[in-house]
């Protein structure tokens, strides 16, 4: 019987996202983070080795789901803007040598208060700074969580029922270099890769 893991991810007493691990209809493991609060000032940057991040601002509030499909090595970003769903897929190379994705928040205290839940995963900001970076990754080949070198990030781990990449890592760090006027920045260190078949397969 497939195992399902559900939890709320908090920054102190503020709600960041819902975390869910499950098996889909084909028995494929999937890890999903859902940012159900409507995120204003959402910006997405793609940080690939040959280019600088190119932020794209959405003037309307965004609902955001980020999923990792284990057997396929795919990271899916699903945005819902004004009721319209947009999907992007990123092929994650193996072995993974960088974090899965990174979220930079200008002021985490502007998030909604956390709802009552059993066993939430709580991230504690390392200082009184309001600007933080939240890192999501797996273990590297050295057995340590992968985190960007520019962040001093203490990582917690979550065990998943996967034969490989069975340890998911989440950490929070100060982000004093965040001078962006927007409130929420998603950075993905992989090149965008979309095909029609992927869109149909994961619709």
Is the pLDDT score of 203 beyond 70?
A: no
Is the pLDDT score of 181 beyond 60?
A: yes
Share of the chain above pLDDT 70, in %: 78
In the chain, how long is the greatest CA-to-CA distance? Answer: 47
Segment 67-86 mean pLDDT: 88
Mean of pLDDT over the chain: 80
What is the Cα–Cα distance from 97 to 21, expressed in whole angstroms? 22
Please enumerate in sequence order all residues whose Cβ is within 8 A of that of 95, keeping only pairs 6 or more positions apart, or say none: 140, 141
More confident residue, 51 or 178: 178
More confident residue, 63 or 90: 90
Share of the chain above pLDDT 90, in %: 37
H or E element that contains 54:
none
Cβ pair 102, 187 in contact under 8 A:
yes
Token reading at 43: 């910006």
Segment 148-173 mean pLDDT: 92
Among 62-76, 77-91, 147-161, the least confident range? 77-91
pLDDT-derived band at 136 (thresholds 50, 70, 90) equals: very high
The string of DSSP codes covering 102-161 is: EEEES-GGGSPBPPP-SS-EEE--SSS-S-EEEEEEEB-TTSSB---TTS--EEEEEE-S
What is the Cα–Cα distance from 114 to 14, expressed in whole angstroms? 5
What is the Cα–Cα distance from 59 to 115, expressed in whole angstroms? 27
């Amino acid at each position: 019987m497939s195992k399902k893991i559900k939890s709320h991810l908090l920054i102190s007493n503020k709600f960041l996202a819902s975390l869910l691990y499950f098996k889909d209809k084909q028995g494929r493991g999937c890890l999903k983070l859902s940012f159900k609060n409507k995120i204003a000032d959402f910006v997405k940057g793609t940080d690939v080795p040959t280019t600088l991040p190119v932020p794209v601002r959405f003037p309307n509030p965004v609902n955001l789901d980020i999923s990792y499909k284990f057997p396929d090595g795919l990271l899916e970003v699903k945005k819902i803007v004004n009721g319209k769903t947009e999907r992007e897929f990123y092929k994650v190379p193996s072995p993974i040598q960088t974090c899965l994705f990174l979220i930079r928040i200008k002021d985490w205290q502007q998030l909604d208060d956390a709802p009552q839940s059993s066993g939430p995963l709580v991230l504690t900001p390392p200082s009184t700074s309001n600007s933080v970076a939240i890192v999501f990754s797996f273990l590297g080949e050295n057995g340590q969580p992968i985190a960007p070198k520019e962040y001093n990030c203490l990582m917690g781990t979550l065990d998943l029922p996967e034969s490989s990449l069975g340890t998911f890592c989440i950490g929070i760090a100060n982000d004093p270099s965040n001078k962006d006027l927007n409130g929420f920045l998603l950075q993905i260190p992989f090149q965008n890769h979309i095909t029609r078949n992927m869109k149909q397969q994961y619709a």
